[in-house]
């Protein structure tokens, strides 16, 4: 399994049974070193919530590749109305797909789509984290979230090989809370995400990783690891 950190919260997972993309935010993201046309065919797009910096490129990628969009039910319905193939889920639910199993965890955040021209905000269901069980490995993508004590349960119930945790602060937990989250989930490797995209979430990922006692890894946009 080949995993590439695209930037912000966007992660590409290439498996023997298909390519998965989490929270596609490529267009308009100054961090990103690739464009949509550089991506391989995407079989499934997994969304944690409806904010623009997590769903920005869902429509063009899914229309290009015929990707299945997996998201909480309300957000899946939204994209279904756009003509995309979707699979709706709810927090705590799991489903076995052809590429592996996906389970939605809770996350403490918002989830909506804003139309600035109309001054309208559309609710898109609860935000979520993702547990992915693929090729004998377990990956946890926390999405956008505050620290919450049930992360201890996620760590107790799973042997997590790789975790993606937000550290940006302001909109999500910051480095101090993310350190506690890392302790609770007990992942073999933690990769920080959701930082430095905007001035308000500027952080030093190396400082965060240095405190993880060998269990952290900074991936720059475009860098990959094999799991």
Position 121 scores a pLDDT of 94
Within 5-116, where are the H helices?
Answer: 52-55, 58-65, 73-80
pLDDT at 53 over 90: yes
Could you tell me which residues are beta bridge partners of residue 27?
none
Structure-block tokens of residue 212: 């993880």
Burial class (CB in 10 A: 0-12, 13-18, 19+), 175: buried
Distance of CA 17 to the CA centre of its chain: 20
Position 124 scores a pLDDT of 95
What pTM, to 2 d.p., does this model score?
0.97
Q: What is the mean pLDDT of residues 158-163?
A: 98
pLDDT at 28 over 90: no
Q: Where along the chain do its domains lie?
A: 2-226
What CATH number has the domain spanning 2-226? 3.60.15.10
Residue-averaged pLDDT of the chain: 97
């Amino acid at each position: 399994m080949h995993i590439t950190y695209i930037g912000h919260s966007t992660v590409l997972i290439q498996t023997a049974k298909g390519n998965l993309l989490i929270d596609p935010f490529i267009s308009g993201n100054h961090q990103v070193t690739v464009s949509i046309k550089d991506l391989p065919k995407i079989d499934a797009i997994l969304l944690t919530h409806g904010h623009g910096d997590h769903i920005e490129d869902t429509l063009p990628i899914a229309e290009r590749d015929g990707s299945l969009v997996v998201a909480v039910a309300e957000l899946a319905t939204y994209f279904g109305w756009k003509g995309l193939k979707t699979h709706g889920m709810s927090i705590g639910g799991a489903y076995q797909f052809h590429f592996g199993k996906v389970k939605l965890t809770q996350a403490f955040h918002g989830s909506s789509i804003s139309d600035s021209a109309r001054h309208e905000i559309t609710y898109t269901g609860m935000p979520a984290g993702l547990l992915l069980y693929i090729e004998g490995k377990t990956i946890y993508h926390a999405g956008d979230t505050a620290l919450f004590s049930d992360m201890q349960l996620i760590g107790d119930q799973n042997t997590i090989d790789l975790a993606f945790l937000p550290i940006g602060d302001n909109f999500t937990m910051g480095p101090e809370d993310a350190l506690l989250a890392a302790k609770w989930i007990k992942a073999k490797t933690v990769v920080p995400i959701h930082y430095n995209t905007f001035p308000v979430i500027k952080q030093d990922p190396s400082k965060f990783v240095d405190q993880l006692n060998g269990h952290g890894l900074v991936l720059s946009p475009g860098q990959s690891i094999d799991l």
